[in-house]
Structure 1
Amino acid sequence: MPWRHDRDENPVLISNLSQPNPNSDVSPAAGSDFQSVGEIATTAGELFEHLRRSGIRFVPQPTEVGVEQWSDVFVDADEVAAEPPVASQPADVSASATQPAPTSTPAQTSAPAATPPQSPPAAKSRPALAAVSGGSDPYAGESLPVAQRVATLQALAETVAGCTRCKALAQCRTQTVFGEGNAAPRFVFFGEGPGADEDKSGRPFVGRAGQLLTKMIEASRLQRDEVYIMNTVKCRPPGNRNPEPSEVANCREYFEAQLQTLRPEYIVCLGAVSSQALLQTKLSIGRLRQKFHQYHDSKVLVIYHPAYLLRNPDAKRAAWADLQMLMKDAGL
């Protein structure tokens, strides 16, 4: 794997917090799973106080990868269907009304009934997330021969080049970036939008992120000219910001027409913008990874964007696991 490198481990002084400190009021970890974000925040505050008392001045700061991994532990409220309330059972008074009340004996005093110990509430299990479908119906029409696909894509690229639906993008772009690659591919790599290098060249993924994508494709036992590479939006957003929802909506006709023409067996969505646009979902990458979704006749796999991997090398291990999943399913 020429593109993935394990992080070098530096020697770090580790404080053994499993041993109670007589000078600290922080209790040792109980070993149970956290049940809420509030518990994590409370425990983290106690841990930081313990470290301060122990003379440790450096406290690790959160990274984007760590935040996303921890956020995936908890289920968003809008992702889980609300459970119907359980109707309270009425007391069975009919039987007690027909039975005579027991006669109390003055000499005997009834002992209070023992209250059974209450067990702690069971941990809320994480519901399994089903695969998302961006359209389960087959691609419309018949599959075109390669020569006709090339002509169709060329005509669509010319239409895109003259598009001015997004005024802000049309005014600041150098040129549109339509896509390139094999017109009859098994695999389409579907990104977010052009960057500065792509805006200058008119080709997708030619900058640093593109170089990493090429290495990822080659690590998957493929060649770049075997696949097709395209983006959600065809113009570079100012300052490389994420495309606005209205801009994605304006380009939807174009990228859907590309996929309709290409009809790939697999679509690899690179990052949140492309995966959420294609599957029409608001789920995070952490919730969409490691399973195949459906877009018409194509299997959809969601992985981290190469630009994100450049900023967060620790996420390369997860991206490689996703590519291995793709290779296994495709028989590579």
Structure 2
Amino acid sequence: MKELTKEQLVARALEEGFVKVGVCRPDAVPEAAGRLRAFLDAGRYGQMGWMAEREGWRGNPAALWPEARSVVMLAEAYTPAVDPLAGLKQRDRGVVSVYAQGKDYHDLVKRRLKRLGRWMVDVAGCEIKVFVDTAPVMEKPLAQAAGLGWQGKHTNLLGRDLGNWVFLGAIFTTLELESDAPEVSHCGSCTACLDICPTRAFPAPYQLDARRCISYLTIEHKGPVDPELRGLMGNRIYGCDDCLAVCPWNKFAVAAREIGYAPKVGLPALAELAALDDAGFRARFAGSPIKRIGRDRMVRNVLYAIGNSGNAGLIPVAQARLQDADPTVAEAAGWALGRLLQPQDDRVGLDGESC
């Protein structure tokens, strides 16, 4: 075994394909617990009960693994090559968030983290634990503490040399490493991300109400979506990139290096997706993060998009789902049909304005 220097770690992480790396201590975000508690007290987590169930660990990274002495935070770019908002104009097609266009990032990032972690163990004889999004780890505050960037007014991480199209991974280690200086906000007076949000999901800068966020509604929310919000979802059927896409710091965004993030889903036809059964859904989205929401939730989202399309040609598609075995899907089909049969002047468009 030999000593592992910070410079060696950074160099190896960049060789592995990460675009930026920083280090902080597990106790570097003492404010996180209070912010999480305020978020939970306001009920802004919606149906994501797991956020409250592991509040102690989520709010205090040092409690997650007391033996850890350092947290290595890593960023991996998935920057899109084209404007992700362009598809919003193609109302007969569904818009899928950029992060879900390719292979499941959980698998790709974790594989890279494990390789880097094994190298750390081999060189320094330390212990490690790796995390990618699924554990009770507040990656964004830790990434800011490690100097990767800052949480913008849209609450996502962005950096002056990264933009905001990044996945985050964490390696907790027993190794003592020099911490980096934390980053501070450089959002200034810009409110582009807040202004573009279709559902007004930001009660204030740097605050998010998940219950109004289209990413939450299309991915995490079970059952029917509030009718007040359905018309504002447009043709977004999995996630929403609006607040990310308009960030001015993206002019410095790093190009994606992982070929697995190359878009495969594209802009699928709503009629095709609405006709999927469970087996067809699983085959269509094998290896994609989309698979986690299941067929019924996807078809529900698709039917909301059909209702927002203003395309009378999709009426038979909605009618075909009126007797669906899933009651939420059947209700969504009825809502979509009612929208499509409304007089043109009464219909609400993608931006919540009269078509």
Normalised by the size of structure 2, how large is the TM-score? Answer: 0.23
In our comparison, the structure showing a higher alpha carbon Rg is 1
